[in-house]
Amino acid sequence: MKIYFAGAIKAGREKVYDYAKMVEQFEKNGGKVLTKHVANPELSTKGENLTPKEVYKRDIKWLEECDIVFADVTIASLGVGYEIAYAEKLEKKIYAVYEKNANISSLLKGNEKIELIAYSDINEITNKIDEIMKKCNCKEMK
């Protein structure tokens, strides 16, 4: 199973260690995370050493080939919002997770095509990743 993991880069890197744990959990369950760089603690808010056009072409390609989109929307990010909207247009299965105290957009909350999951701590969301992967029979879809 190919996973497009979305999380804030330029909007802030406060969640990067949680991103890393989520990516690790997908991989433990046999998933292939296309966007592992999002969880790299060395990646700063300046982003990657690529042109905006290169980032756009690469990320659109990954969105088109992924099986699911899994986005942490705790930190409001224009890029993550764009990725979610594009994935919705492609009719991808979308999971949007967020810390329970985060102020989440009503557009996300009101969209029945997005499975929104609030969490209190990282263990809660990694357990949810286990459930998602089992439900998808993801190990068979490698």
What is the DSSP code string of 77-91?
Answer: -HHHHHHHHHHHHTT
Between CA 55 and CA 58 the distance in angstroms is 5
pLDDT band at 85 (very low <50, low <70, confident <90, very high): very high
Higher-pLDDT residue of 135 and 127 is 127
pLDDT band at 135 (very low <50, low <70, confident <90, very high): confident
| Domains of the chain by start residue, with CATH | 2-141 (3.40.50.450)
In the predicted structure, residue 139 carries a pLDDT above the cut 50: no
By C-alpha distance, which of 57, 141, 77, 134 is closest to 96?
A: 77
In the predicted structure, residue 96 carries a pLDDT above the cut 80: yes
Residue 137 pLDDT: 62
Mean pLDDT of 66-94: 97
In the predicted structure, residue 141 carries a pLDDT above the cut 60: no
Mean pLDDT of 46-68: 96
